[in-house]
Structure 1
């Protein structure tokens, strides 16, 4: 990702959510996939959605992909499920490279907290962020990211993804499932 101008193209003429603009600046300093395992903001042309899920215009216009979720092709998108003009408050969904589509956060700030786990999501029959207690791997700038998140948004690091995922799914998953079913089975 080289510029905010390129990243802006993900949002179909809408302003880039401020939290993502700030995260992009952080990423430009630290590097793609360097602060949360497998994660990186990128320019997405929706080709993954078109070829993997549906090329229906009504489907594509309600999803704004903006980030890689893991190193094997999963990605995050904002779901324009209502008439809200505030992209900061839209649910974040993940599309798995092996299938599966799930709400993972009620909004962008929830996703930012999930990234503090520093683990790639596993997307199968559900979405999980598993980290083995004995695994001492850490992304190069994971600690700096946690500090950045606290300093910029007063959000703490988490170790349990369910604190973010469960309330988001309770609020939005059934509606997301019903909506997406009209485009694919």
Structure 2
């Protein structure tokens, strides 16, 4: 790690220090990326107010989806902000209520798919049958997560996503609709309720 911090988020700096020397990914498809970059986010809106509310930090999968913190408000602790996944297939969805919840998701070592209609995770039995997974490096991550934060892998990744949607979903959809016209209407059609 250099003398400069990776991000203004202690949890991400610890994650960077852990993952930087590793030769392999510790969770399927995940990789830290330049903190605060707007590439991929700016395809939704180039409005400076829109872009200012996101802080990207990682690639969610090997096909171009990314994770970003959503500045839902001006709280000082950025790790307490919700995490959004911008999909390479066109979707944008809440994925975790906090950064630590996302770290627990990564500990599941499941590949994430971000589609226009939602987020899904690879099946662990299929992953095992295909030899997918991050192996020993993943076990190092699980031990690191427990040591640094006292956290275990999420029992059910879908429940983490659902909790984020229940906590922030309506607010996120309404906010996105200010910048992406028709966002709330499309979301209502997919989910069965309005923003």
Fold conserved (TM > 0.5)? yes
1:103 maps to which residue? 94
Instruction: Tell me which structure has the larger Cα radius of gyration.
Output: 2
Q: How does 1:25-174 map to 2 (within 5 A)?
A: 25-31=17-23, 34-44=25-35, 45-50=37-42, 52-124=43-115, 125-136=117-128, 137-140=132-135, 141-174=137-170
Stretch deviating more after TM superposition (142-151 or 128-137): 128-137
C-alpha contact 1:36 1:116 (8 A) present in aligned 2: yes
**TM-superposed deviation, 1:130:** 2.3
Counterparts of 1:87 and 1:175 in 2: how far apart (Å)? Answer: 18
**C-alpha RMSD over aligned residues:** 1.7
The TM-score with structure 2 as length reference comes to 0.83
Counterparts of 2:180 and 2:4 in 1: how far apart (Å)? Answer: 32
Unaligned segments of structure 2, at least 5 residues: 182-195
The TM-score with structure 1 as length reference comes to 0.88
2:13 maps to which residue? 21
C-alpha contact 2:154 2:160 (8 A) present in aligned 1: no
**TM-superposed deviation, 1:100:** 1.0
**TM-superposed deviation, 1:131:** 2.0
User: 4+ residue runs of structure 1 moved beyond 3 angstroms?
Assistant: 2-8
Unaligned segments of structure 1, at least 5 residues: 9-15
Number of residue pairs matched by the alignment: 175
**TM-superposed deviation, 1:5:** 3.3
